[in-house]
Structure 1
Amino acid sequence: MGSNLSVSSYALTAFEIINEIYISIGAGVLGLIVLTEYGIRNSSIIRTLLMTTVTAGSLLFIFQCTQEEEPSPNKVIFITGCDSGLGFSLAQHACESGFTVLAGCLKLDSKGAKELRNLFGNNIHHIEIDVTRSTSVEVAVEVTDRFLKSNPNYRLWAIINNAGVMVFGEFEWLTERLIQDQLNINLAGSMRVTKAFCPLLRQHQGRLIVISSHCALATLPGLSVYGATKAGLLAWCDGLRVELKKYGVDVISFIPGSFPQHSNIMANQVENCYEMHSSFTPEQREFYGEYFKRYNSYLSVISGPKVITKINDLSLYKKFDKALLEVPPKTLYIHEPFKYSIYHILFKHTPVRIRDYLVTQFMQMPEYTARTGSLPGGIA
């Protein structure tokens, strides 16, 4: 998406607000240092409080320190959505790192499944799973259970809920099927897989890693339903984490960043576009007209099937390794480029009008104009 901010009154106002905040914080810190130094010289109570604070802070730091386990073949991880994109890449990375990988694929004859088989042969194990069907999920659990029982020295180290779909389009345009697909795969699918695997997770005291999205932190226009599913995953993990902790199961949310050029998460966007347009009423066709056409033409760069390849991002895998191996793990791991972190800080802390302006600049979507038109291919 676009990343260049045009100078405007909104941007200047945002700069002035942030500048004032920095000055206020700096003045407050300086004043606190002066008062603390004076108190230490003149008050035994303040000296005692300061020593207590330093001691408590040191203990807190020690208790928050983590260590990392080492990858090994007896650590088994199960990943959904390995047919392409992030799941394909994580499966490949984990296998290369030395884990035993159970790659959950929608189809065992998909290009991604075949490529993983060509790369690793019998060192990676494929399991067919459709996260929208309970019977398919239950079979995947049974296969996993048999595999673990046939290898008694192996431990189910992690379940990674990665399978997902994304439909780009304004909410009014989405058909009921397009809405339900995102809810059923992204949100309910993760819940369905987790519920079925809970007994094994408890038995092996493994960890559950749920792939969320930056859209969970700041939902973008055109992705309102997708963002809702990912925000729902974060909320669900907050409650689930406390429930499973007492059984020795860690629940972790992982935000991996954006890889539309390396994923098939939008493989069906063109077909979805035609489905949306065919469902329009005459009034909607007239109202949206040329705007709908320009909107979807803009998305053509990231739409459609992509070549199945491993994502080339070393920092992504370093962050993923931490989520997999840190003991104790954090509750949330976020991988993002620097500009994303700046945008999300601004999204969170600026007034709504400025925030909405920044979101618009971040997305750089075509502007709406009251014009009529038609889609290519004779769709009026």
Structure 2
Amino acid sequence: MSALSKSLRVCFEILNELYTAVGAGVLVIGLTAASLVFAFSRDKQRITANKKKVVIITGCDSGIGFSLAQHAAECGFTVIATFLSLDSKGSKEIKRLYGGYIIQIQLNITDSTSIRNAVQTLEHYLSKNPGYSLHALVNNAGVMVFGEFEWQTEKLIKHQIDVNFLGTLKLTNAFCCLLRHHKGRVITVSSHCALANLPGISIYGATKAALSSWSDGLRVEMAKYGVQILTFIPGSFATESNIMGRQLQNVQEMHDNFTAEQHHFYSDYFKRYNIYLSFITPPSEPQKIQDENLYKVFEGTLLDKYPDAVYKHEPLRYKLYHMLFKYSPVVLRDYFITKFMQMPEYTPNTSTDDDFEDLSCDGN
């Protein structure tokens, strides 16, 4: 009888667990369906752009920032475009095209004084224009160094972290008071690299993944204050921006800081790798990106009354590959990433092992 009772108790516990699991599954499905219905029922609601809504965009010297500043102005917003240098080609071109219609300020997001000056400039502008409000802060400024992790010096790694991640955090923190007061939104430009990091830009990808994670936490924190936090993934425009403008100097720094062992080990591979990259040349003059779908997605970040957490623009090739990256086993994923990047293959140095034994890994 005791054995029977024990068996019945075990059966009851199993049935109870199954019932609980099924119930939880039904609950999750129900909540997900309700969330989707709610999302789709409200996503058509849009606000109207006008001059009293101010949008500040960082990193407008070239590429994405240069293009988004122009498009936001064309939508009808008052745009404050920030430039690392007001003498940059991008700054001069926007001034030629738009005059004072796009307000220009100098901003280095790694410099606390520069950030403070930018906040004070916006505060002064809003006080002189009653009824105007801070609608959006667009965190776009960023840098990228292309090169394998071992090649990148501490200086190059630190610069990417300081600009892409810490600088963005410092700037957003400084604008929090204004964002809360005006119930604005923060739009942070991320990258597909945040979804699947890639060889050659592992540091850059790590900073973008950090930004996406930070945005997830910040979104919940700021929602109760009426501040909306979202991420914008625009796709790859390396050949239409200046994000690789310093690549030659970066390559030289990597090469100059190689140990004797690294020079020996990488040798021809390092040379072929960077010759390949040399064909990815930035434009000689800043130019607005010609991609209607890019701007359509960006408009959603500015105009959707109830914005999504993430807005993503991607060509079909990106969509296909990133789907494969997400759902493939690791071995296949790594293969697809290699095919996606299409970088030169590594071939071992043909020098003798005796030559290598004379070299130390610590550079001596």
- Decide: shared fold, TM above 0.5: yes
Partner of 2:347: 369
Worse overlay, 276-285 or 300-309: 300-309
Q: Are 1:107 and 2:110 matched, yes or no?
A: no
- The amino acid that maps onto 1:203 is H
* 1:7-156 aligned within 5 A: 57=33, 61-62=37-38, 64=40, 65-66=42-43, 67-156=45-134
Runs of 4 or more, structure 1, over 3 Å off, are 53-60, 303-306
Alignment partner of 2:307 out of 316, 329, 336: 329
1:63-96, Cα deviation, whole Å (9 max, x unpaired)? 5422111211111000000010000000011111
- Counterparts of 1:177-216 in structure 2 under 5 Å? 177-216=155-194
State the aligned residue count: 322
Gaps of 5+ in 2: 1-25, 352-364
Check if 1:265 corresponds to 2:248: no
The Cα shift of 1:306 comes to 3.7
Alignment partners' CA distance in 1, 2:205 and 2:281: 18
Counterpart of 2:20 in structure 1 is none
Cα distance in structure 2, aligned partners of 1:268 and 1:308:
15
Which residue of structure 2 aligns with residue 302 of structure 1? 280
Distance 1:55 1:364, change over 3 A: closer
* Matching of residue 285 in structure 1 with residue 263 in structure 2: yes
Query: The residue matched to 1:301 in structure 2 has which SS?
Result: coil
Q: CA deviation at 1:301?
A: 1.5
| Equivalent in the alignment of 1:250 | 228
Partners of 1:56 and 1:122 lie apart in 2 by 47
Q: Helix, strand or coil for the counterpart of 2:229?
A: strand
Is the Cα contact below 8 Å between 1:268 and 1:305 reproduced in 2? no
Q: Distance in 1 between matches of 2:36 and 2:234?
A: 28
Contact 2:86-2:106 within 8 A present in 1 as well: yes
Offset, 1:305: 5.7
TM-score for both structures, normalised by structure 2: 0.85
Structure 1 contact 164–185 (Cα < 8 Å) conserved: yes
- Aligned positions of 1:154-193 closer than 5 A: 154-193=132-171
TM-score of the aligned structures, taking structure 1 as reference length: 0.82
DSSP 3-state at the match of 1:307: coil
The alpha-carbon deviation at position 191 of structure 1 amounts to 0.3
Question: Which letter maps to 2:177?
Answer: P
Q: How far has the Cα of 1:254 moved from its partner?
A: 0.6
Query: What RMSD, in angstroms, separates the aligned Cα atoms of the two structures?
Result: 1.8
SS at match of 2:278: helix
Verify: 1:276 aligned to 2:254, yes or no. yes
**Structure 1, residues 112-154: CA drift from partner, whole Å, max 9, x if none?**
0111111111111001100110110110000011001111111
- Cα distance, 1:211 vs. partner? 0.4
Does structure 2 conserve the Cα–Cα contact (< 8 Å) formed by 1:269 and 1:303? Answer: no
Give CA-to-partner distance per residue, 1:299-344, whole Å, 9 cap, x none.
0121456420000000000000001110110000010011211111
**C-alpha contact 1:219 1:228 (8 A) present in aligned 2:** yes
Paired letter, 2:291:
D
Q: CA deviation at 1:180?
A: 0.4
Q: Which amino acid aligns with 1:336?
A: E
Partner Cα distance (2:61, 2:91) in 1: 6
Q: List alignment gaps of at least 5 residues for structure 1.
A: 1-49, 374-380
Between the aligned residues of both structures, percent identity stands at 55
Q: Per the alignment, in what secondary structure is the counterpart of residue 68 of structure 1?
A: coil
Quickly say closer, same or farther: Cα 1:188–1:306, change in 2 above 3 A.
Answer: farther
Query: Counterpart of 1:222?
Result: 200
Name the amino acid aligned to 1:148. Answer: L
Q: Quick one: which amino acid aligns to residue 280 of structure 1?
A: F
CA distance in 1, matches of 2:35, 2:217: 27
In 1, the alpha carbon distance for the partners of 2:246 and 2:38 equals 49
- The one-letter code matched in structure 1 to 2:329 is P
- What is the one-letter code of the residue matched to 1:81? G
1:239 CA displacement: 0.6
* Structure 2 residue matching 1:77: 3-state secondary structure: strand
Larger displacement relative to structure 2 (187-196 or 61-70): 61-70
Counterparts of 2:118 and 2:259, CA distance in 1: 42
How far residue 60 of structure 1 moved from its aligned partner, in angstroms, is: 5.3
